[in-house]
A and B are shown apart, each in its own frame.
Chain A
């Protein structure tokens, strides 16, 4: 075993890891925010929103991430829509996050008791008020574990962005592996880094889940304006 090459390349790997986290967090946050907007839109406009959403979800979920990346970056360029790899990467991560999280939120919405929504309706809440005051917390409460798992999957999938030359963790690692001729050590090292990132985010989601699912009386996030 010769991990000297890994040590020497560590700054590069860490900067790649930072990019991995940035793409994952930014894309996931944007995707989740759009997903919530779509849920509010569904409440306000029904099938005018939910039908097109379903089509989008099916397309994204039934095609490979890598093929989407190639299509967006290389394919569209041929049609004259060229974009930088960074833009393509952000779009891919956001679209994937959106497609998967909107499905998760939809199942969470189904789990919110019909009576609560009717109570809000009988008091004339708008769709946005319904989401914010009636639905958001029971829905998040039910879906945070799934949202957490989905984040990890999206984060790990960003390794495929190396194929369109995004300098994230896997991209830096493969460069380092070929320049140092130490692929075994390098890939063991980044596997550990991915694992650490996953574990750290899983832990953060677990804390958040506990805050939201814990005693409503003690942890009133809504009252503090967080949710």
Chain B
């Protein structure tokens, strides 16, 4: 049994079918990179995985348990499957440590002190031990995104979903975030990451899925999918992002 099982999944917004019969699975400790053109359904797929979007067809199982949408089940799901967004989405009125400590405190029901201990641990993991009291607007984009990663890690999830987390960053800040992701990967955290950083996907991901018009068009070991694309769609896509 795989940690994530996506089984003939479909998702529509109104009449517009965005995910079409997608099946794939992710093993514990694996890093799956999802690549593809804008609009191909990558974000929607991720959002389905932590219940931000409800699926219309097929099934979704995390650790063997089907995803359902009552409040308690969603709460359980999101404790195991955390999400990081392209635009960081840090709470602007809270310091870095309060951003990270918030979910452990109000969802995990920890004491303030215990939640801050977790925040400090997680900020340490992303290399921001010196920024506990800094507010988001005083941090660079790369630092903000690392705080956002720490915030997602604070509930000790088994799976981390990352949606183009470096896409909004200035080029010189991309490296520090990718380094954190590389570290997490080597620690064995299961990750599904949507990215346009093809070189990083090739290096850090165990497998790569190429999405095209709502379907998984190619999937396989990173080296193969990126190094030896089979379909003209993927060849064109790779040519366009690498050029």
Contact = CB atoms under 8 A, between A and B. Distances in A.
A123 B135 contact: no
A134 B90 CA distance: 10
Interface in A169-227: 216-217, 220, 222-223
Nearest to A137: B93
A115 B88 CA distance: 8
Contacts of B103: 123-125
If over half of A's interface residues share one DSSP class (helix, strand or loop), that class is named, otherwise mixed; here it is helix
Interface residues of A, number: 20
Interface in A112-128: 113, 115-116, 118-119, 121-125
B89 A217 contact: no
Interface string B122-138: 00000000000101011
Contacts of B151: 119, 123
A133 B52 contact: no
A118 B85 contact: yes
A122 B82 contact: yes
Given A217-B95, A222-B93, A122 B78 contact: yes
A222 B105 CA distance: 15
Most chain B beta-carbon neighbours within 10 Å: one of A118, A119, A133, A222: A119
Contacts of A129: 106-107
A133 to B, nearest CB: 6
Given A116-B92, A119-B89, A124-B79, 6 more contacts: A115-B89, A118-B89, A122-B82, A123-B78, A124-B107, A216-B94
Nearest to B155: A123
A220 to B, nearest CB: 8
Interface residues of B, number: 30
B91 A217 contact: no
A125 B106 contact: yes
Contacts of A134: 91
A133 B115 CA distance: 15
The 3 closest A-B CB pairs, nearest first, are A119-B89, A115-B89, A122-B83
Most chain A beta-carbon neighbours within 10 Å: one of B75, B93, B133, B155: B93
Interface string B92-117: 11110010001100110000000000
B50 interface: yes
Contacts of B95: 217
B40 interface: no
B85 A119 contact: yes
Given A121-B52, A133-B106, A217-B135, A116 B91 contact: yes
Contacts of B82: 122-123
17 contacts: A113-B89, A116-B89, A119-B151, A122-B50, A122-B78, A122-B83, A123-B78, A123-B102, A123-B103, A124-B103, A125-B103, A129-B107, A137-B93, A216-B92, A216-B135, A217-B133, A222-B94
